């Protein structure tokens, strides 16, 4: 439990240093380490998201050896923040350990969604190996994005079983995954963009969020986060196709940040108050104020997208700054939610 809490308390630091490094890259003067600037993408994907996903998987697996993955990714992130490239090796080893954990879960529960969770972990490992081989960053990022998006898609596939859906829905999901992997293996940005667009449409059509958005409180907030994330996934797919695929330029930059900020962070915002209590054992209290960082996140990303298409560096910097403020506000609200949850869970409350 102490190790789990230590990881959870330091994850926000890794995330903020990675975000600060990204802000410096677009011209926003914020304090960060040299590692935060130089390893911005690796810290975001491996240091924060990879560690968090591995931690969740280790708790679910319930095996001591499973903790090697989140601890390895966490230590690797700290090394990268210190400017030590040896962190690359630890993060790669952590991703291979996540593959082993995911395969173990799939063998225990042979379902479509557990299979795709293992495939997602494999995508992270492939991206990390390419990263170690000093392959072009655009090629590496394609696999890293696949890891994040496929992990979320597999979890939503599991939950979609609780909503009415036709028998062909799961076969359609399989077809989308095949198209996506074909795009990754061939390096064809058009195929990848079409697959992402089809995946966004599938999740909008079959996700339980279409029903829970009519609810109240936390379920409604989660649904709004999910649906806004699916919209950003679709826009990112269009930007990837319009920008010529895996080519450096505004289209690819917009697709990348639309996926990581618009889609993935929207999922994080929506699930934080569900996952954190499950992983940490602490209670969290939802407040309507959580809509504020979500609104800032979407406004900032819209400004960043507009700045990318119009080639306005000042708009890109403004949008990125608003995203940073949104993330900081969200982390403060989460800490307050945990504090209130602890206070209201005391005996006599």
**pLDDT tens digits for 313-338?**
899 999 999 999 999 999 889 888 87
pTM (2 d.p.): 0.89
**pLDDT tens digits for 222-256?**
999 999 999 999 999 998 888 766 666 667 778 88
Pair 12, 80: CB distance under 8 Å: no
pLDDT score at 317: 92
Q: Count of H helices and E strands in the chain?
A: 16, 0
pLDDT, the chain, mean: 86
The CA–CA distances, whole Å, from 67 to 7, 28, 102, 249, 271 equal 11, 36, 13, 39, 22
Task: Please check the confidence at residue 76 and state whether its pLDDT lies above 70.
Answer: yes
- Compute the average pLDDT of residues 16-23: 84
96: helix, coil or strand?
Answer: helix
What whole-number distance in Å separates Cα of residue 227 and Cα of residue 203? 9
- Compute the average pLDDT of residues 71-82: 89
Task: Please check the confidence at residue 307 and state whether its pLDDT lies above 80.
Answer: yes
What whole-number distance in Å separates Cα of residue 303 and Cα of residue 319? 5
DSSP H or E run through 48: none
**pLDDT tens digits for 108-165?**
888 899 999 999 999 999 999 999 998 888 788 889 999 999 999 999 888 877 777 8
Q: Which of 2-16, 28-42, 261-275 has the lowest mean pLDDT?
A: 2-16
- Compute the average pLDDT of residues 183-210: 88
- Compute the average pLDDT of residues 65-82: 89
Q: Which of 216-220, 313-317, 337-341 has the lowest mean pLDDT?
A: 337-341
What whole-number distance in Å separates Cα of residue 207 and Cα of residue 242? 27
């Amino acid at each position: 439990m102490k190790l789990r809490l230590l990881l959870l308390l330091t994850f926000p630091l890794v995330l903020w240093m990675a975000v600060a490094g990204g802000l410096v890259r677009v011209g926003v003067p914020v304090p960060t380490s040299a590692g935060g600037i130089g390893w911005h993408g690796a810290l975001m994907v491996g240091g924060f998201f990879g560690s968090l996903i591995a931690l969740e998987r280790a708790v679910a697996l319930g095996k001591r050896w499973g903790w090697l993955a989140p601890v390895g990714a966490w230590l690797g992130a700290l090394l990268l923040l210190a400017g030590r490239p040896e962190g690359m090796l630890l993060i790669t080893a952590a991703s291979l350990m996540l593959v082993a954990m995911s395969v173990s879960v799939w063998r225990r529960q042979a379902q479509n969604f557990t299979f795709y969770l293992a495939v997602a972990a494999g995508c992270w490992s492939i991206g990390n190996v390419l990263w170690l081989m000093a392959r072009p960053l655009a090629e590496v990022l394609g696999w890293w994005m696949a890891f994040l998006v496929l992990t979320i898609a597999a979890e939503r596939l599991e939950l979609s079983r609780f909503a009415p859906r036709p028998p062909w829905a799961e076969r359609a999901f399989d077809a989308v995954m095949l198209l996506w992997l074909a795009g990754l293996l061939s390096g064809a940005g058009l195929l990848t963009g079409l697959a992402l667009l089809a995946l966004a449409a599938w999740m909008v059509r079959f996700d339980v969020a279409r029903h829970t958005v009519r609810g109240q409180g936390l379920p409604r907030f989660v649904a709004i986060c999910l649906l806004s994330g699916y919209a950003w996934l679709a826009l990112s797919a269009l930007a990837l196709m319009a920008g010529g695929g895996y080519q450096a330029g505004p289209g690819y930059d917009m697709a990348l940040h639309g996926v990581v900020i618009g889609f993935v962070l929207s999922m994080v915002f929506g699930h934080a108050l569900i996952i954190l209590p499950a992983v940490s054992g602490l209670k969290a209290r939802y407040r309507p104020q959580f809509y504020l960082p979500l609104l800032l996140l979407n406004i900032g990303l819209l400004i960043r997208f507009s700045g990318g298409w119009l080639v306005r560096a000042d708009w890109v910097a403004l949008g990125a700054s608003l995203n940073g403020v949104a993330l900081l506000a969200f982390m403060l609200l989460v800490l307050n939610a945990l504090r209130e949850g602890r206070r209201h869970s005391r005996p006599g409350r």
